[in-house]
Structure 1
Amino acid sequence: MDLNLFVEESKSNYPANKKLKERLRKVKPKVLDAKFESLHNETFAELDCLACANCCKTTSPIFIQTDIDRLAKVFRMKSSVFIETYLHRDEDGDYVLNSAPCPFLKEDNTCLVYEDRPKACREYPHTNRKNMHGILNLTLQNTLICPAVSKIFEQIGVDYRK
């Protein structure tokens, strides 16, 4: 996957995707959830996250306290030391990584802590969950990070980009 090309294309598509997001707000919630879930399943049957890992290379998940405690245990350190070593609070007061790429991302794009990864990583890119209306802004932002989300938006636009 050519991530530089993806970044260029996703930025170019962003204005149209932003307009699409506004149209999607008018779609019935259950219909929208079902459409996203269906496209999520189709897309991830074709795309391999390990070929990309752009999310791990460019952004940070939010770490909730249970994530911090679990990972601190994995590394045999106190939660406070895990925070001091890897995290800081962002402008919203959430714990996020100090730097990108993720310190747990290995050279082959696999995750050192995959079995114990944060909840946000487990759920990413959030395109197969209920209440997509509630996260349309986040999903739009994720079109700039995740080729799968960009493809899902492109596909959903076939039905709703009018």
Structure 2
Amino acid sequence: MDLINKWQSQAKEKAKENQNFLKRLKKSKQAGQIDRWVNEADEEVVSQVDCLSCANCCKTISPVVTQTDVKRIAKELRMKPTEVVEAYLLVDHEGDYVMKSQPCPFLGADNYCSIYEARPKACREYPHTQNRGFTKRPSLHYKNTLTCPIVFNVVEELKQKMLK
């Protein structure tokens, strides 16, 4: 809980600094090493953050939902894929399906996901700090520093590693 409180008070304060730092990483020749550092920091930070006490991602982000996700969600909800699309999704400006509403319609009052086993791939991979190619998506990670205490703290640890 402490990391969540710390994040909420510092994310906006350090927004420009983090945006610039992440942009500079895109040109780094140390991409493989950065991925290792990010993965290590992620493991450490994840062990200190209870996502269920935050759930800010589910409250504020509309994840991309693929056709495969739609089929999986439809099966879980015992609906037709077209019914899932009609009830829960819309097409965004990039032509992708995203949730119609925020918070996510599947987020319970207890911050549990009612379709957890069938959740979209984007939700399964969030906060994207275990994926390879961290340096290739600076704008995504910047946005996520403002959304997720894990990403914010991973970036803070990465800055410290890069200074050494």
Q: Quick check: TM above 0.5? A: yes
Aligned partner of 2:23 in structure 1 is 22
Aligned partner of 1:87 in structure 2 is 89
Q: Identity of paired residues, percent?
A: 43
TM-score (normalizing by structure 2): 0.91
Q: How much has 1:7 moved relative to structure 2?
A: 4.4
Moved over 3 A (4+): 1-8
Distance 1:32 1:5 in 2: 24
Distance 2:78 2:111 in 1: 24
TM-score (normalizing by structure 1): 0.92
Aligned partner of 2:129 in structure 1 is 127
Most deviating of 116-125 and 27-36: 27-36
Which residue identity is paired with 1:12? E
Distance 1:42 1:23 in 2: 24
Local SS of the residue matching 1:35: helix
Q: Does 1:137 align with 2:128?
A: no
Distance 1:95 1:4 in 2: 32
Distance 2:162 2:72 in 1: 42
Q: How much has 1:46 moved relative to structure 2?
A: 1.0
CA deviation profile, 1:75-112 (whole Å, cap 9, x unmatched) = 11111111010000111111000110011111111110
1:43 to 42, 45, 49: 45
Aligned partner of 1:9 in structure 2 is 10
Local SS of the residue matching 1:96: strand
